[in-house]
Chain A
Amino acid sequence: MLNTLTQPHEYPGKLFVVEGIDGSGKTTQLGLVAKWLNAQGHRVFVTEWNSSALVKAATKSGKKKNALTPMTFSLLHATDFADRLLYKIIPPLKAGMIVLADRYAYTAFARDVTRGVDRQWVRELYSFAVRPNLSLYFRVPIDVSVDRLMARRVKLKFYEAGMDLGWSSNPTESFRLFQGKVLDEYDQLVDEFGLEVIDAAGSITEQQRVVRALIAQQLQTKTATPEAPDDQPV
């Protein structure tokens, strides 16, 4: 059995991922991390969940017609992930770069299981993934996340709000129910996969300070590989 998701990788580069529900502020935090690392002279590559060209058409048309079942939703995202892992994530890691991933396999573990997909099945599905050097989980109470999305006047999308599950015909109420369950699943992942929990209800700057400290620690770790960047920050 493949189990690369639970074994440390041996690439000279570093993989840092951010996780959390919509409105947790993880993308904002990741953007600030990228700015900081670039300014430090690191070579950084950012990759987003569900962004490969390969499955874009199918995901788009499936979502448009609300035609995705929990299983096809899960498998399409796994296909997207496999495509990005092999073309976008592993090559920069081999080149000694820093890869920042906005969502990772843990998003699938939290969301797909909430949708009713078998917990163990989806873990084994993603067992080919590379284990991140650091996984930051931005934990936020559901009310805070909803308030943030409302303030930004974000229109809640059908699948993000879990409308496909038919728990409520009101998008906000559905979001609250669905993402509330997603939060419960995330909480299980913290111990199982060693996610670092960041209190995402705090100020942006305070969160970023914690995040940078955690990443700096990772970058100080000596790697024996010659390709590793020698301009590590102190």
Chain B
Amino acid sequence: MTNPSDLPNTADSGANGNGQAGRYYGRGIPYLPIDGYPGKLIAIEGTDGVGRSTQIQLLREWLEVKGYGVIETGWTRSQLMQPTIELAKSSNTLNKLTFVLLYATDFADRLEKEIIPALRAGFVVLSDRFIFTALARAGVRGVDRQWLRNLYGFAIAPHMVFYLNIDVKTLITRVLQSRGMDFWESGMDLKTGDDIYDSFRQYQSKLLKEYASMGDEFHFRLLDARRPIDKIQDELRKQVAAFLEPAEKSAEPALLVKG
């Protein structure tokens, strides 16, 4: 893990921006200052089928038992944009720019209406995916990187970003054992061929490379997604506890705190 001089405490204190409330990645939203909000934003990233939702569910459970208020947010779940995104996906009218912009609009809606209000109210916000999925997908499709980073300059930097790291071989087996390969997750829109298996393997390999290339830039905390669910969860809880507990005393009586 790199430890750039402008963020001296990243590796140790476990938080971007010195463990304080979030900051904007870029130019931000001028009419929406976010300084001093008590809430915490934790993002769980990883490619399709890597096990993000399971981990978030378990983490939420644990946090709530400890007395933290928890709110979940997920990609393309905004009221404003979900119907449009579904429609656009099914009608095949998306080009790479509108693809990126629709997702960015969805994210902006959730940021302003869910994430920031929750942070202001002191919640722990668990984000199932964050802007990195959008950056990875757009990167694979050849959208200009600098333009993308400017676009998402209005995003808040999470206090912690966990990345569920996996190799494409393990991923394929896992996806086939559960729900199978889907059109978009296989990058079939890129029209590399008719074979969904080949397309999935190629597309996901490229996606994984994109995610990996962002690790240092956005301070990913890597979790080995090939390990059993409870082992991953243990590691997740250990790091989250180390971050949250010095900042705020747990509501749970000390006697009941599990190791």
Interface residues of A (CB under 8 A from B): 1-2, 53-55, 57-58, 61-62, 67-72, 75-76, 78-79, 82-83, 85-87, 116-118, 120-121, 124-125, 127-128
Docked complex Cα distance between A60 and B81 (Å): 11
Q: Would A86 and B29 count as touching, CB distance under 8 A?
A: no
Which of A55, A67, A86, A121 is the one whose CB lies under 8 Å from B154?
A: A121
| A213 → B minimal CB distance (Å) | 35
The main secondary structure of chain A at its interface with chain B is helix
Instruction: List the B side residues contacting A83 at CB < 8 Å.
Output: 93, 95, 98
Of chain B, the residue at the smallest CB distance from A1 is B146
**B147 touching A124 by the CB < 8 A rule?**
yes
Pair A117/B81 contact, Cβ less than 8 Å: no
Q: Measured between alpha carbons, how far is A136 from B30 in the docked complex, in Å?
A: 30
Q: Does B109 contact A (CB under 8 A)?
A: yes
Contact with A along B106-141 (1 / 0, CB 8 A): 001101110000000000000000000000000000
Interface residues in B89-114 by Cβ distance below 8 A to A read 93-95, 97-98, 101-102, 104-105, 108-109, 111-113
List A contacts of B108 (CB < 8 A). 69, 71-72, 75
Closest chain A residue, CB of each to CB of B110: A72
Q: Which residues of A contact B88 (CB under 8 A)?
A: 54
Partner of B101, one of A62, A82, A120, A121: A82
Which 8 residue pairs of A and B lie closest in terms of their CB atoms, listed nearest first? A116-B31, A79-B101, A75-B105, A82-B97, A58-B84, A124-B150, A118-B27, A71-B108
Pick from B26, B87, B105, B144 the residue with the most CB of A within 10 Å: B105
Residues of chain A contacted by B113 (CB below 8 angstroms): 69
Q: Is residue B83 contacting chain A, with contact meaning CB distance below 8 A?
A: yes
* A71-B112, A75-B101 as given contacts; A2 in contact with B84, CB under 8 Å: no
Given contacts A62-B80, A69-B108, 19 further A-B contacts (CB under 8 A): A2-B147, A53-B93, A58-B81, A69-B109, A69-B112, A72-B108, A72-B112, A75-B101, A78-B101, A79-B102, A79-B105, A83-B95, A86-B98, A116-B31, A118-B153, A121-B153, A125-B151, A127-B147, A128-B144
Q: In the complex the two chains form, is A120's CB within 8 Å of B109's CB?
A: no
- Tell me the B133-184 residues at the A interface (CB within 8 Å): 144, 146-147, 150-151, 153-154
Query: For residue B98, which residues in chain A have a CB less than 8 angstroms away from its CB?
Result: 54, 79, 82-83, 86
13 CB < 8 A contacts A-B: A54-B88, A54-B94, A55-B84, A57-B83, A58-B84, A69-B112, A71-B29, A75-B101, A79-B101, A79-B102, A86-B97, A87-B95, A118-B153
> Once the chains bind, are A1 and B144 in contact (CB under 8 Å)?
yes
A125, B95: Cβ atoms closer than 8 Å:
no
B51 in contact (CB, < 8 A): no
Taking the nearest CB of chain A, how far is it from the CB of B3, in angstroms? 28
**Chain A residues with CB below 8 A from B151, complex form:** 124-125
Complex CA distance for A71 and B5, rounded to whole angstroms: 32
Contact (Cβ within 8 A) B93 A54: yes
